[in-house]
Copies of this chain bind each other. A is one copy, B any other.
């Protein structure tokens, strides 16, 4: 099994964060340089079937992409600490919050970077209106997390779960366009400081 990773991109960061939370350090990791197009070579396409990073290649040659699918699969191999849920109800609540974190905040923030950061013009035909619209969407959505984090130490449960990792990775990536959590959101601010204090924070960057 091996993992294709890329240090600067937001989706691979989720998997690195997840592995760090699990304490997994024996996985073969291969770095892919997106800026020089290593994910678009015929060799990468042939092995992965897509140009996406991260990708997990299983021992039978199956290529998995999509960070959350990769992490859920890895949880089956490394079950503790549990980040995806212990029973159907717990799993559903974690998936609900993971999706909210991703769809309402992390993805808009990634789009804001992709359409708004000069260095990414090489990867995207940038549309300023798309950058602005996504940034506003993320700011509005963070209010939902501020409310939740006023009631709960972590986003989806009484422990860190995948939902925390997805929101955290999205916010850290958005520093590229100088996005900051609004001061009017004390609970997200408290939670972000707690996420940055964890050992897994070093897996980012």
| A125 and chain B: residue at smallest CB distance | B133
Asked whether A89 lies within 8 Å of B73 as measured between CB atoms, the reply is: yes
| A132 and chain B: residue at smallest CB distance | B127
Q: Is A83 an interface residue, CB under 8 A from the partner?
A: no
Q: Is A38 an interface residue, CB under 8 A from the partner?
A: no
Known: A58-B89, A127-B129, A129-B129. A96 touches B76 (CB 8 A): no
Would you give the shortest CB distance from A24 to chain B, in whole angstroms?
15
A68, A77, A92: which has the most chain B beta carbons within 10 Å?
A92
What band does the interface of chain A fall in when counting residues whose beta carbon is under 8 Å from B? 20 to 34
Please indicate the chain B residues that have their CB under 8 angstroms from the CB of A77 in the complex.
Answer: 88
Q: Is A30 an interface residue, CB under 8 A from the partner?
A: no
* 20 further interface pairs, Cβ-Cβ under 8 Å (given A62-B89, A66-B95, A130-B130): A64-B92, A64-B93, A65-B96, A66-B96, A69-B96, A69-B99, A70-B92, A72-B88, A72-B91, A72-B92, A72-B95, A73-B88, A73-B91, A73-B92, A76-B88, A103-B107, A127-B129, A127-B133, A129-B130, A130-B133
